[in-house]
Amino acid sequence: MADPATERRIAECGRALAIACVKAMTVGNAVNLPTMVAGCSRMSGSYLLRSFGLDLSAIPPGHVVLSAKAGEQTSMLLRFCASMLQTLGTNIVGAPASLEEQRNGLKQDFLEAQRTLEPVFGPLMAQYALDNEQMAKAAALATGALIHQVAKRMDPVVGFSYAAYGFTEGARTVPLSLTCGSNAA
């Protein structure tokens, strides 16, 4: 069981990540909602992948890495996101779309999303003194908060589908090695 101080830091970082994500993903006065939700969840999955301590140095960024642990633990990110949605009063009713359908609706690929978000997520990771697994949880909470925040403009089931896609892709895609306050792989 995690200690209350750590849980509080994860929750506070999650709120800060949601705000940072909106700012980073806004172009002009507009934001592509599916791309924003998927970007935040991709980062969550990416931090989860990094928490495994795998040696990814021989695999080029953007390539898929298959890890049984990723398959097992991605469901944790979905639960954190769903828990946040439930806490905020947003119900997810209905079946999510297929992962392929979700990918086709995005304006950024995984590496573009990482380039956009990691420079603003990394300093928050350091500020809240989180490790990669804790950061994955914080970003999953942020994803749920974003889905709730935009529920009037994007059906929460659709938003959750984009989140599921992002969690899965992030946990199975080699990230860029960026140095901006995080423990990059």
Read off the pLDDT of residues 66-101 as tens digits, 9 standing for 90 and up.
Answer: 888 888 899 999 999 999 999 999 988 765 655 566
pLDDT of residue 157: 92
Task: Give pLDDT tens digits for 19-75.
Answer: 999 999 999 999 999 999 999 999 999 999 999 999 999 999 999 998 888 888 999
Tell me how far apart the alpha carbons of residues 162 and 103 are, in angstroms, rounded to a whole number.
8
Complete DSSP assignment for 108-168: S-HHHHHHHHHHHHHHHHHHTT--HHHHHHHHHHHHHHHHHHTTTTS-HHHHHHHHHHHHH
Question: In this predicted structure, what is the pLDDT of residue 181?
Answer: 41
pTM of the model: 0.91
DSSP 96: P
Contact 134, 6 (CB under 8 A): yes
Rounded to 5°, the CA angle 166-171-176 comes to 95
Cβ atoms of 143 and 34 within 8 Å: the answer is no
What is the band of 2 on the pLDDT scale with cuts at 50, 70, 90? low
Percent of the chain past pLDDT 90, that is, above it, reads: 79
Instruction: Cite the beta strand spans of 28-132 per DSSP E.
Output: none
